[in-house]
Amino acid sequence: MKLLEPIKLGDFRLKNRMAMAPMTRSRANMEGVVGPSTVLYYKQRVSAGLIISEAINISKQATGSPLTPGIYTQEQVNAWKKVTQEVHEKDGIIIAQLWHTGRVGNSLVKNGELPVAPSAIGIQGQQHFTMEGMKDYETPHPLTIEEINLIIQDYKHAAINAMEAGFDGVELHAAFGYLPNQFLADSSNRRTDEYGGSINNRNRFVLEVMQEIVAAIGEDKAAIRLSPTSIYNNITHAQPIEQFTSLIEQLNKMPLAYVHLMKVPFPADKFPQYPVDALETFGKISKHPVIANCGYTRETGEETLQKGLATLISYGTLFLSNPDLPKRFEIDAELNQADRATMYGGNDQGYIDYPFLNN
């Protein structure tokens, strides 16, 4: 079974081709510090060939949701060290996903400060979770050039902190409608300066962030996650094929570990300009290894690898509820079902109490 074959990914030797996808779990404290339960959570799932952490805030400003972890204070870094040490003791590989939520937040979570974005365009038709309940999205503060440059440096420092914390590399979260994705999308980016307008200008922020990260932590340690067809958080692209082809061709020039592509379903009747299959369309352009993500099963993951469309398959919910997922795939065992009520916040229930086989 190809999913269970060991593979070399850059300098990493992975025990299988199954990655644990990044999943927000909201189990940090109010200061963005993870605790002992998070250490155990990742240790339990070390059977994954590659673990990609939950999204980690790169700065106080980057935080959009309560109880999500950060990596911008020494206390946060020290807490993550305990996670990476446990993973490495079990011969695991763990990547830190770097996160700036941009406009996907609320001032109630940000000490009264407005969320920021490329342009002053708020998210419509959705609400955001705060400690005071669900709230409408606000019109974000449009970033100045100086503020953009500061955020790029925040990404660089977060990458350096991640390496200090013992992570094996970092992944830029440029998907699902968060800040880098907001720069990419013409629905959220109406700028008329060098960060908006043309495809090249809208790609600029992501490319500059990646350049800084690579320069800071070295070759084959940086990666990126993209969702070319996701419309979540009011993200739409007028020319997605042209946009992401150009972006990936520029990323090809950088010494990256991999490109993580989300194959997100979308209403084809409303978005005829979108590629039918994001993995087939953009995966073949990438000169870097491709990790495929979004709703894969044992069978569809294996089929995708057999066709040569991806190097690894990442699983989210299945790893959440099945810490021993590779063993279950190997013997085609029954899978635990995820408790959706405990996915985003709570205590240890639905976090570190999912049963292993024979337990």
Average pLDDT over residues 306-316: 97
Angle at 313 between CA 44 and CA 161, to 5 degrees: 60
Domain of 200, CATH number, reads 3.20.20.70
For residue 101, the model assigns a pLDDT of 98
Asked if 206 and 172 count as a contact pair (C-beta separation under 8 A), the reply is: yes
359 pLDDT higher than 80: no
348 pLDDT higher than 80: yes
Give me the chain's average pLDDT, please. Answer: 97
**Among candidates 50, 285, 79, which has minimal Cα distance to 171?**
50
Give the model's confidence band at 95: pLDDT under 50 very low, under 70 low, under 90 confident, else very high.
very high
Average pLDDT over residues 87-95: 97
Average pLDDT over residues 151-174: 98
* Alpha-carbon distance values, 276 to 244, 261, 269, 313 (Å): 14, 14, 11, 19
Average pLDDT over residues 272-291: 96
Q: How many domains does the chain have?
A: 1
Q: Which residues of 260-276 are buried (b: 16+ CB within 10 A; e: fewer)?
A: bbbbbebeeeeeeebbe
Q: Is residue 329 part of a domain?
A: no
Q: Is residue 4 part of a domain?
A: no
Q: Is residue 214 part of a domain?
A: yes
Q: Is residue 281 part of a domain?
A: yes
Tell me which residue range forms the domain holding 93: 9-14+27-35+53-292
Average pLDDT over residues 65-91: 97
22 pLDDT higher than 70: yes
Average pLDDT over residues 275-279: 94
Q: Is residue 203 part of a domain?
A: yes
Token pair of 15 as six digits? 């025990």
Cα–Cα dist 47/45, whole Å: 5
For residue 106, the model assigns a pLDDT of 94
Q: Is residue 153 part of a domain?
A: yes
For residue 11, the model assigns a pLDDT of 84
Write out the catalytic residue numbers. 178
Asked if 301 and 312 count as a contact pair (C-beta separation under 8 A), the reply is: no
For residue 10, the model assigns a pLDDT of 84
65 pLDDT higher than 80: yes
Average pLDDT over residues 174-189: 98
Q: Is residue 270 part of a domain?
A: yes
Burial of 307 (0-12, 13-18, 19+ CB in 10 A): exposed
For residue 358, the model assigns a pLDDT of 83
Helices and strands, counts by H and E, the chain: 10, 14
Q: Is residue 20 part of a domain?
A: no
Average pLDDT over residues 38-56: 98
Per-residue pLDDT tens digits for 228-252: 999 999 999 999 999 999 999 999 9
> CB atoms < 10 A from the CB of 142, how many?
15
